[in-house]
Amino acid sequence: MKNIWWKILTVLLLLFTVFAGLMSDVPRLAILNETIRNLYFHVPMWFGMILILLISVVYSIRYLRNPTIKNDVIAHEAAKVGILFGVLGIVTGMEWAKFTWGEYWSNDPKQNAAAIGLLIYFAYIVLRSSFAEQQQRARISAVYNIFAFAALIPLLFILPRLTDSLHPGNGGNPGFNAYDLDSSLRMVFYPAVLGWTLLGIWIVNVRSRFEILRQRIYETV
């Protein structure tokens, strides 16, 4: 229980995010209006997703170097939590897009990229479920995880910059800093990113400990 401090920090940060995010003053901007508060919920989902998927890939690489059940379980659980964050990010983003861009889905390159990214990880889950043997499943899905992540990076970071996007920072739209400069937004935004990401890591942590314990019980029975 000596590592409990970051869990307390997560709870405090998220409480702060929810209260300050909904109650504090936000700048009045045309079109955005009050929906700017979604900044505290939508954007951190993407930060969290990228980081957690990165964890998944790192553990896949570690699995190939050192095949233990622990590495495989963490890679798998992190991919699942990454999907959860991705779905939440898409849903919150669609809600936001409805009020600011007028449509839930407006063929924006970043929206499309996010959807394709999710498809890759759904495929990862399907691939995993099509193997019966544990060792083979772990090795081959680790290979696919690394391969897909290497193909996903250009998608997420290069493609939206080549075409026009409605998202800030692309295709002539002002970047984050143009209206993020408001210090009251930053006061909540950075803790929100940290809080949601830590929550994701916490979920991965609990789930993989649970999974490892379960496998151990199966082995002994």
Residues in contact with another protein by the rule CB under 8 A: 64, 113, 116-117, 119-120, 122-123, 126-127, 130-132, 135-136, 139-140, 142-144, 146-148, 150-151, 154-155, 158-159, 162-163
CB of 20 to another protein, least distance (A): 37
Reduced to 3 states, what is the DSSP secondary structure of residue 190?
Answer: helix
Quote the CA–CA distance of 53 and 146 in Å, as a whole number.
10
Record the tokens describing residue 54, joined without a space: 């990165």
Q: Considering beta carbons, is residue 6 or 122 the nearer one to another protein?
A: 122
CB of 160 to another protein, least distance (A): 11
Record the tokens describing residue 82, joined without a space: 């990454």
- In degrees and rounded to multiples of 5, residue 164 shows phi and psi of -70, 135
CB of 159 to another protein, least distance (A): 6
Q: Considering beta carbons, is residue 37 or 128 the nearer one to another protein?
A: 128
Q: Considering beta carbons, is residue 115 or 206 the nearer one to another protein?
A: 115
- CB within 8 Å of 71: residues ≥ 6 apart: 59, 60, 62, 63
CB of 134 to another protein, least distance (A): 12
Reduced to 3 states, what is the DSSP secondary structure of residue 39?
Answer: helix
Reduced to 3 states, what is the DSSP secondary structure of residue 212?
Answer: helix
Residue with tokens 């830590």: 198
Question: Environment class of residue 118 by beta-carbon count within 10 Å: exposed (0-12), middle (13-18) or buried (19+)?
Answer: middle
- CB within 8 Å of 87: residues ≥ 6 apart: 118
Work out the number of other CB atoms within 10 angstroms of the CB of residue 202. 15
Q: Considering beta carbons, is residue 81 or 142 the nearer one to another protein?
A: 142
- CB within 8 Å of 144: residues ≥ 6 apart: 123, 124, 127
